[in-house]
Structure 1
Amino acid sequence: MSSDDMVVHVDGRPVAVAAGVSVVAALVLADALCTRRSVSGEARFALCGMGYCQECRVTIDGRAHRLACQTACRAGMVIATGAGEAA
C-alpha cells in the first residue's frame, strides 16, 4: 500500500485502492465480480463502463442503485454489491 492508497470496504472486506479509481475497479480488486442478481438469479456485472447499461449498480454508503463505473472511491467508502440476492 503506497501513501496515495486508501481503504474502501467491499461487502465488509477492506480493500486498498489507489486514489481516484472507480468503484468498479475496487470491485475487481476485491474479486467481487457480481454486482447484483437478475430476477432469474443470473449474476450481473459492469458491462459498458459508462453508466448506460446500469449493470454495475451497487449500494454505496447506504445509498442504493449507485453506478460503480461512474463513482470514484473515497477513503472509508462502504460498498455493498447485493450479489447474494435477486434484484
Structure 2
Amino acid sequence: MSQRILHHPVLGSLNQRKTLHFTFNESSYTAYEGETIAAALLASGVRTLRVHEEKGTPRGIYCNIGHCYECRVSVNGVPTVRACMTLVQDGMEVTAGTVLPTPLKKGDVAHG
C-alpha cells in the first residue's frame, strides 16, 4: 500500500515521473525518479531503516536533512549511506544496518 502524495499543488504530479525499481533487504520496492531512498521506503510503509549497532533498537528517519545519520543504510555494498540524501537509482540494492559485535569494555580480557 502506497502512502505517497501523488499530486502536490507545488511539486506537480508524481505519476508523470519515471518509475524505478530497487530492493531493500531483498524485498522489491518502487520509487519515482527524483525520490530519495528514505521517501520511497516511507511511502511503502517501511519505518525501520537500520538497528542500533549495539542495542539492536530500531532506527529510521529522524531529521530527514542529512544531519543525524540515523537513516544510514548500505547501497550496492557501500556502507553508511544516508537514505534521506540519496536518490533511488533503478536496480539499486539497499540493505539495513545490523547489530555489530560489541567492543571489549574496560577490564575485559580478550581470549584467543
Question: Scaled by the length of structure 2, what TM-score is found?
Answer: 0.68
Question: Which 4+ runs in 1 deviate beyond 2 A?
Answer: 29-32
Could you tell me which residue of structure 2 aligns to residue 36 of structure 1? 50
CA RMSD of aligned residues (A): 1.8
* Structure 2 gap segments, 5+ residues each: 1-14, 101-112
Structure 2 letter corresponding to 1:68 = A
Higher relative contact order (CA 8 A, sep 6+): 1
Unaligned runs of 5+ in 1: none
Query: Number of aligned pairs?
Result: 85
Equivalent residue for 2:26, pick from 9, 12, 15: 12
1:66 to 63, 81, 93: 81
- The percent of aligned pairs where both chains have the same amino acid is 25
- Asked which structure has the greater CA Rg, the reply is 2
Q: Deviations along 1:11-33, whole A, 9 cap, x unmatched?
A: 11111111110010122134331
Q: Whole-Å Cα distance in 1 between the matches of residues 17 and 64 of structure 2? A: 28
1:79 to 2:94 alignment? yes
TM-score (norm 1): 0.85
